[in-house]
A and B are shown apart, each in its own frame.
Chain A
Amino acid sequence: MDAPTLIARRIARELRGGMLVNLGIGIPTAVANFVPAGMHVFFQSENGLIGTGAVPEPARALPFLTDAAGRPVTALPGACAFDSAMSFTLIRGGHLDMTVLGGLEVDQAGRLANWMVPGKLIPGMGGAMDLATGAKRVVVGMQHTAKGRSKVVKRLSLPITTSRPIDLLVTELAVIAFPNARATLWETAPGVTIEQVLAATDAELVVPEQVPQMSV
C-alpha cells in the first residue's frame, strides 16, 4: 500500500456515522474512498455543498456543480447547496465535526503550518485557517518526511496556520496525538518499529509503554 493510501485509510477509521466532515485537497480527499460500508457521513465542500458525490463522467459534468478546486463533482440525494457565508458559519461556528487537512509541518505541541513557504510558494490560505481554527476535531494527513527531512518538528520553520493545536496527525509511519500539548506516539504503521519512527522524527516524541500497531 502506498503512503497516501495508508494515511487516507487510517484517517477514514476516525469517521463516525452522521458526522459533518470537510476534506482538504491532496491526501485528505482520498479519505472519502474509504468510508466504512453502511456508514453515512456528510461531506462538506467549502465552496457551498454538503453531500458531495463521486466525480462524474465528462459528459455528465455540470458547470455549476464543482468541488473546492473547481473540478466537476456530483451531488448525492439529500445534498444541499448554500452560499459562502453559510459555508463558513458551519466551519467556524462549531458545526463541523472534523476537518482533514494536509500539512507542511507539525510541531511537537501540535501546531500546524500548511499554507505558505516564504519566498517560494504563496498560494493564499483559502479556507485552511478557518477550518483549522473552527472545526471540532482537526486531523492532519501528511508524509512523515520530505526530501529526507522530518516534517514533524521541534519548532515550526514555516508560518503557522492557527494557534489552535491539531488533534491527530497521521503519517505513513505513525499516528501521533497531542495530549497536554505533547506529541505522543499513538500507533505505529504496519511493519514500522518505534525506533524507525523516532529516527524519522525531529520533534520530541512521548512513547507510552504500549504502542499498538495502526489498523487499516
Chain B
Amino acid sequence: MKMIPLQEAVATIPDGASLMVGGFMAVGTPEPLMDEIVRQRKQDLTVIGNDTASPGVGIGKLIRAGLVHKAIVSHIGLNSETQRQMIDGKIDVELVPQGTLIERIRAGGAGLGGVLTPTGLGTVVEEGKCRMTVDGHDYLLETALRADYALVCAFLCDYLGNLQYALTARNFNPVIATAADTVIVCAEHIVPVGVIAPDHVATPAPLVDFVIAKG
C-alpha cells in the first residue's frame, strides 16, 4: 500500500476506465474521489455500483458532469438526471438485480467465472442469458464482473491498509475491494497498526493499492 495525495491518485485513472464505486445511495461513497474525478474531467467512464444516488451526490456527481458513458447498477430511481441521460441516449444503463450485481462482483474478485442464481428467471433479466438446471432447479448463468479501479470508502484504515467499515456504509465496499486491478481507499480515520483488531479487519491490507493521504 502507498499513501498518496488525492490529485495524484486520481491522475492515475485514464479516460475510458471502468470504476467500481462503493456506496448505497451515496452512504459509503468516497466523495473526495468523486469530486476530484469531476475536477480532472475524466471522460467516458464505466461505473459499476449499487445505484447512481441522487442528483449531484455520490456517483450522481459523475453523472451530472456527463463523465459516465455506461452505468451497471441496480437502481436509478432516485436520480432523475441518470434517467434523463438514459432516455436521451447519452448514457447506457445496464440494470442488474442487486443480489445478482454483488454476486457478480464477488465472483470477479474470487476468481470465479460467474454464479447461478434463480433471480431474474422468467423476467426481462433472462433475455440473452443461459438457463441451467442443477438438481432439478433452474438458474440463470450470470457472469463475473471486474473493473480497472475500485474506489472504496472505509471508516478506519491502518498504516498497512487494513480496513474497517461503519454500519451501513459498508455495503459494496469490501466486495469491490477484491474485484479491481487497482484499489484506492478514502478513509475517515487513518490509524496506527493494531488499532483495528484482527477480528475487525473487513478488508485485508494486501488488497489495497493506494490510500488517500490526509491534509
A interface residues with partner B (beta carbon < 8 Å): 45-49, 62-66, 68-70, 75, 81-85, 87-88, 91-92, 121-130, 133-134, 159-164
Alpha-carbon distance between A61 and B27 when the two chains are bound, in angstroms: 13
Residue on B nearest A45 in the bound complex, by CB? B168
Q: Which 7 A-B pairs have the closest CB atoms?
A: A123-B77, A70-B25, A163-B122, A88-B99, A130-B99, A64-B169, A124-B75
Does B159 sit at the interface, judged by CB under 8 A?
Answer: no
CB-defined A-B contacts under 8 Å, sample of 10: A81-B167, A83-B165, A84-B102, A84-B171, A85-B175, A88-B98, A127-B98, A130-B100, A160-B122, A162-B121
Contacts of B169 in A (CB 8 A): 63-64
Q: Which residues of B have CB within 8 Å of A163?
A: 121-123
Chain B residues whose CB sits within 8 angstroms of the CB of A128 once the complex forms: 97
Q: Known: A66-B27, A85-B175. Contact between A125 and B95, CB under 8 A?
A: yes
Cβ of B73 < 8 Å from any Cβ of A?
Answer: yes
Q: Contacts A47-B24, A66-B25, A88-B99 given: A129-B168 contact, CB under 8 Å?
A: no
- Report the minimum CB–CB distance from B188 to chain A (whole Å): 9
Write out the residue numbers on chain B whose beta carbons fall within 8 Å of the beta carbon of A63. Answer: 27, 169
Q: Are A134 and B76 interface neighbours, CB within 8 A?
A: no
Say whether A126 contacts B117, CB under 8 Å.
no
Residue contact A47 to B123, C-beta cutoff 8 Å:
no
B26 contacts chain A at the CB level, 8 A cutoff: yes
B175 touches which one: A81, A83, A123, A129 (CB < 8 A)? A83
Residues of A contacting B97 with CB < 8 Å?
125-130
Contacts of B73 in A (CB 8 A): 124
Do the beta carbons of A83 and B173 come within 8 Å of each other? yes
Q: In the complex, which residue of chain A has the Cβ closest to the Cβ of B202?
A: A83
Number of CB contacts from chain A to chain B under 8 A: 147
B residues less than 8 Å from A45 (CB atoms): 168
Q: Which residues 95-129 in B have Cβ within 8 Å of A in the complex?
A: 95, 97-100, 102-103, 106, 117-125
A123 touches B76 (CB 8 A): yes
Q: Which residue of B lies closest to A49 (CB)?
A: B168
- Cβ contacts under 8 Å, B155 to chain A: 64
Bound-complex Cα distance A129 to B100 (A): 9
Q: Using A88-B103, A127-B99 as known contacts, say yes or no to A162 and B168 having CB atoms under 8 A apart.
A: no
Shortest Cβ distance from A134 into chain B, in angstroms? 7
Residues of the A chain whose Cβ atoms lie less than 8 Å from the Cβ of B95: 122, 124-125
Are A66 and B168 touching (Cβ within 8 A)?
A: yes
Contacts of A126 in B (CB 8 A): 51, 74-75, 77, 97-98
- Which residue of chain B has the shortest Cβ distance to A124 in the bound complex? B75
Which residues, 1 to 27 on B, are CB-close (under 8 Å) to A? 24-27
What 0/1 pattern do residues 168 to 197 of B give for CB contact below 8 A with A?
A: 111111110000000000000000000000
Are B122 and A162 in touch, CB under 8 angstroms? yes
Chain A neighbourhood of B50, CB < 8 A: 84
Evaluate contact between B171 and A47: CB separation under 8 angstroms: yes
Question: B78: CB under 8 A from chain A?
Answer: yes
Taking the closest CB of chain A, its distance from the CB of B132, in whole angstroms, is 15
Q: Which residues of B contact A83 (CB under 8 A)?
A: 102, 165, 170-175, 202
List B contacts of A48 (CB < 8 A): 24, 167-168, 170-171
Which residue, B77, B99, B121, B170, has most C-beta atoms of chain A within 10 A?
B99
A84 touching B175, Cβ below 8 Å: yes
B75 lies within 8 A of A123 (CB) = yes
Task: Specify which of A49, A125, A162 lies most central, judged by the most chain B CB atoms within 10 Å of its CB.
Answer: A125
Chain A residues with CB under 8 Å of B86's CB are 122
State whether the Cβ of B66 lies closer than 8 Å to any Cβ in chain A: no
* A-side contacts of B24, CB under 8 Å: 47-48, 66, 68, 70, 84
